[in-house]
Chains A and B, each alone.
Chain A
Amino acid sequence: MSIEAHDIRKTFGRFTALDGVSLNVPRGKLVALLGPSGSGKTTLLRIIAGLEFADAGSGRILFHGEDVTAVPPGGRKVGFVFQHYALFRHLTLFENIAFGLRVKNRRERPDDETITRRVHELLKLVQLDGLDRRYPSQLSGGQRQRVALARALAVDPKVLLLDEPFGALDAKVRKELRRWLRRFHDEIHLTTIFVTHDQEEALEIADEVVIMNQARVEQVGTPQEVYDRPASPFVYQFLGNVNVLPDPALAQAGGSTGSPAIVRANGHIYVRPHDIEVGRHINGAPGISAIIRYIHTAGPQARLSLEQIRSREPIEAEISRAVLEDLNLKIDDLVLLHLRQSRSFTEDYNI
């Protein structure tokens, strides 16, 4: 089922959480709502679920073209996974997952046998079969996460909403679980929105990324689109490391390798560290002269912290370790930088 949100506004007192946000999630897609904390992404998710209401007179929520703005959360057929899972601590896993079936009214409620079968199916689906008699407190974070998912799926939701699904897990489990979620989504094809503040997570598993900042949507696109063609300085900075060079003249100096960017008079230049080419310094040659201050070699790439000769501003570059060895670079060496690819934004976009 597709999800649409039109012109949603939400204020808490004087704080604006959502300022006319619209969203369109096509059927069967896995979409990430990505943004820093306070950008309004969780509020938007809760409004879609019906846990919060948009300001009076603003906006509509549509599921599959049908207006559900006035439908209470229990009637929207959504599965919701809370950041801290919100499992019922006094119930076993079995009863946690069966909850949504047991509270149905008598006419719709399945019999005990059907409930048992359904719960075991779901436990198998989330790879927790055999743990049905455990209590939530006896599980690891990753297992709780999957129980929360199974509980949400028990009522056959038409859309799945996940609030920071991996936020409370340690780094390794996080990675495993997000790949698992991607495979899981490919199996069940449920329209899914998940909220995250982790750009790596969003770019890795989402079909589409919605980047939010300060109560607004900054950009919508596939992970590659938003990474390669960021629509604003905020998006550029939020999705990975970036150098911000204030002097546009530098771009002309280094633009010899065919930068696609159009440099405006008072713009800033944004360039990712791996889009900077580092070469030995040759007197009079075009490029940015800089001195190497530090070389970090832990990791697959070598990161250089440099200082520009003319402006004394710092700049970061990333090169492969093979190149580093070929050039035989050391601290305090003078080098010449070329910007392979950069982008500029006019001043009114300034951050």
Chain B
Amino acid sequence: MAAVVVSSLADARRTAAPPRAAQEAAWVRWLLIAAALLFVGGFLVLPLAAVFTEALRRGFGAYFAAFADPDAIAAIRLTLITAAIAVPCNLVFGVAAAWAIARFNFWGKSVLTTLIDLPFAVSPVISGLIYVLIFGLQGWLGPWLQAHNIQIIFAVPGIVLATIFVTFPFVARELIPLMQSQGSDEEYAAIILGASGWQTFWRVTLPKVKWGLFYGVILCNARAMGEFGAVSVVSGHIRGETNTMPLHVEILYNEYNFVAAFAVASLLALLALVTLGLKTFIEWKHQQALAAIP
């Protein structure tokens, strides 16, 4: 059995290899591979390993003690709440925008497509500042908000708004090319068979794009939990109240509390690793689904 697998693998490799004339010289190949490995090791693996070693420097006791701190718990909770609001909002928005852009031709379509990318184009700090300028005490709506006793800046609503803004493109960006490449014939077929618009969406459109959608949501969630710049501007850094995990890490670090800082950072790093794992799994599933398209 094993021999069969090995030989079929060898076959696969033989057929996959490009023709001799298209190959580089051996030393060029090794040089390129070594450069790539060195780069990945130095810039990605080493820092990641450093996070976990630093976090565990004083043993597991100190590591877990960092999470027992009420401020840390508050930061973790706020991060989860923010993601729990921002991700569903962007999910709905992303599907709606992708659907409109992929299915219809309307005036201003190219402008909308460009605007969806705006959060990627501007610095996160600017994204935060926009909200301070609108909702802050000196901002446009500041006096009115204060008169009605509503606080947005330096409070949870501001953090959620800034996060939604920053993570806004992920789902839409993922779905638009997918929906455009799939076309609308299946939807037309469903409508002719008597399905309503709602039935068509749930029974045909959504299943068609589910892997792309899932991928977009995972990326959106990773960014929502990890966002620093925009959130930093609107948060006000009130411990136990308006600190998210990335902000909490910074505060601990500035207080020379390295073990706790790296412990919380390791949680974020773990999140990143899980995200990457999920992403790889979804890409694999998606490739399978694509290969199955008639």
Residues of chain A lying within 8 A (CB to CB) of residue B44: none
**Closest chain B residue to A74, Cβ basis:** B194
- CB pair A86 B189 closer than 8 Å: yes
- CB pair A89 B293 closer than 8 Å: yes
- Say yes or no: is A85 at the interface (Cβ < 8 Å to chain B): yes
Interface string of B266-294 (1 = CB under 8 A from A): 00000000000000000000000000111
Complex interface: stretch among B49-57, B62-70, B202-210:
B202-210
- Say yes or no: is A144 at the interface (Cβ < 8 Å to chain B): yes
- CB pair A84 B185 closer than 8 Å: yes
Tally of contacts, chain A with chain B, CB under 8 A: 75
Q: How many residues of A contact B (CB 8 A)?
A: 31
In-complex Cβ contact of A86 among B188, B196, B292 (8 A): B188
- CB pair B293 A151 closer than 8 Å: no
Residues of chain A lying within 8 A (CB to CB) of residue B80: none
- CB pair B192 A78 closer than 8 Å: yes
Q: How far is the CB of A86 from chain B (nearest CB, A)?
A: 4
- CB pair A137 B189 closer than 8 Å: no
- Say yes or no: is B28 at the interface (Cβ < 8 Å to chain A): no
- Say yes or no: is A234 at the interface (Cβ < 8 Å to chain B): no
Which of B188, B190, B192, B292 neighbours the largest number of chain A CB atoms within 10 Å of its CB?
B192
The docked-state distance in angstroms from the alpha carbon of A74 to that of B292 is 29
Q: How far is the CB of B67 from chain A (nearest CB, A)?
A: 42
Q: How far is the CB of A145 from chain B (nearest CB, A)?
A: 11
- CB pair B195 A99 closer than 8 Å: yes
Residues of chain A lying within 8 A (CB to CB) of residue B186: 86-89
- Say yes or no: is A51 at the interface (Cβ < 8 Å to chain B): yes
The docked-state distance in angstroms from the alpha carbon of A79 to that of B196 is 16
- Say yes or no: is B191 at the interface (Cβ < 8 Å to chain A): yes
- Say yes or no: is B193 at the interface (Cβ < 8 Å to chain A): yes
Contacts known (A90-B208, A103-B203); A85 close to B294, Cβ less than 8 A: yes
- CB pair B294 A136 closer than 8 Å: yes
Using a CB-CB cutoff of 8 Å, which residues 56-78 of chain A contact chain B?
72-75, 78
Contacts known (A89-B293, A90-B207, A135-B292); A51 close to B195, Cβ less than 8 A: no
Q: How far is the CB of B210 from chain A (nearest CB, A)?
A: 8
In-complex Cβ contact of A99 among B190, B207, B292 (8 A): B190
- Say yes or no: is A319 at the interface (Cβ < 8 Å to chain B): no
Residues of chain B lying within 8 A (CB to CB) of residue A50: 192
Residues of chain B lying within 8 A (CB to CB) of residue A152: 192-193
- Say yes or no: is A104 at the interface (Cβ < 8 Å to chain B): yes
Interface string of B93-130 (1 = CB under 8 A from A): 00000000000000000000000000000000000000
Contacts known (A86-B186, A90-B207, A136-B294); A73 close to B192, Cβ less than 8 A: yes
**Closest chain A residue to B210, Cβ basis:** A90
Q: How far is the CB of B265 from chain A (nearest CB, A)?
A: 40
Q: How far is the CB of B249 from chain A (nearest CB, A)?
A: 42
The docked-state distance in angstroms from the alpha carbon of A72 to that of B199 is 16
Q: How far is the CB of B81 from chain A (nearest CB, A)?
A: 34
Q: How far is the CB of A80 from chain B (nearest CB, A)?
A: 5
The docked-state distance in angstroms from the alpha carbon of A51 to that of B191 is 9
Using a CB-CB cutoff of 8 Å, which residues 121-151 of chain A contact chain B?
135-137, 139, 144, 151
Q: How far is the CB of B107 from chain A (nearest CB, A)?
A: 14
Residues of chain B lying within 8 A (CB to CB) of residue A79: 192
Interface string of B182-224 (1 = CB under 8 A from A): 0001101111111110010001100110000000000000000
Using a CB-CB cutoff of 8 Å, which residues 72-120 of chain A contact chain B?
72-75, 78-80, 82, 84-90, 99-100, 103-104
The docked-state distance in angstroms from the alpha carbon of A278 to that of B175 is 65
Q: How far is the CB of A211 from chain B (nearest CB, A)?
A: 26
Q: How far is the CB of B283 from chain A (nearest CB, A)?
A: 18
Residues of chain B lying within 8 A (CB to CB) of residue A17: none
Residues of chain B lying within 8 A (CB to CB) of residue A84: 185, 294
Residues of chain B lying within 8 A (CB to CB) of residue A73: 188, 191-192
- Say yes or no: is A302 at the interface (Cβ < 8 Å to chain B): no
In-complex Cβ contact of A82 among B185, B191, B203, B293 (8 A): B185
The docked-state distance in angstroms from the alpha carbon of A144 to that of B293 is 12
Contacts known (A49-B192, A80-B192, A100-B194); A88 close to B292, Cβ less than 8 A: no
- CB pair A99 B208 closer than 8 Å: no
Q: How far is the CB of A318 from chain B (nearest CB, A)?
A: 40
- Say yes or no: is A295 at the interface (Cβ < 8 Å to chain B): no
Contacts known (A84-B185, A86-B185, A137-B294); A103 close to B194, Cβ less than 8 A: yes
- CB pair B188 A87 closer than 8 Å: no
Q: How far is the CB of A49 from chain B (nearest CB, A)?
A: 6
Residues of chain A lying within 8 A (CB to CB) of residue B188: 51, 73, 80, 82, 86
Which of A73, A86, A152 neighbours the largest number of chain B CB atoms within 10 Å of its CB?
A86
Q: How far is the CB of B294 from chain A (nearest CB, A)?
A: 5
- CB pair A99 B294 closer than 8 Å: no
Q: How far is the CB of A100 from chain B (nearest CB, A)?
A: 4
Q: How far is the CB of A37 from chain B (nearest CB, A)?
A: 18
Q: How far is the CB of B198 from chain A (nearest CB, A)?
A: 10
In-complex Cβ contact of B292 among A51, A85, A89, A104 (8 A): A89
The docked-state distance in angstroms from the alpha carbon of A104 to that of B190 is 11
Residues of chain A lying within 8 A (CB to CB) of residue B191: 51, 72-74
- CB pair A89 B193 closer than 8 Å: no
Q: How far is the CB of A348 from chain B (nearest CB, A)?
A: 38
The docked-state distance in angstroms from the alpha carbon of A154 to that of B195 is 13
In-complex Cβ contact of A103 among B190, B292, B293, B294 (8 A): B190
**The 9 nearest A-B residue pairs measured at CB:** A100-B193, A86-B185, A137-B292, A103-B195, A90-B207, A74-B194, A86-B189, A80-B192, A73-B192
A-B contact pairs, 8 of them (CB 8 A): A51-B192, A74-B196, A80-B192, A99-B203, A103-B190, A103-B199, A139-B294, A144-B294
Beyond contacts A88-B189, A88-B203, A154-B193: 9 other A-B pairs, Cβ-Cβ < 8 A, are A72-B191, A74-B195, A85-B294, A86-B188, A87-B186, A88-B190, A100-B194, A103-B193, A104-B194
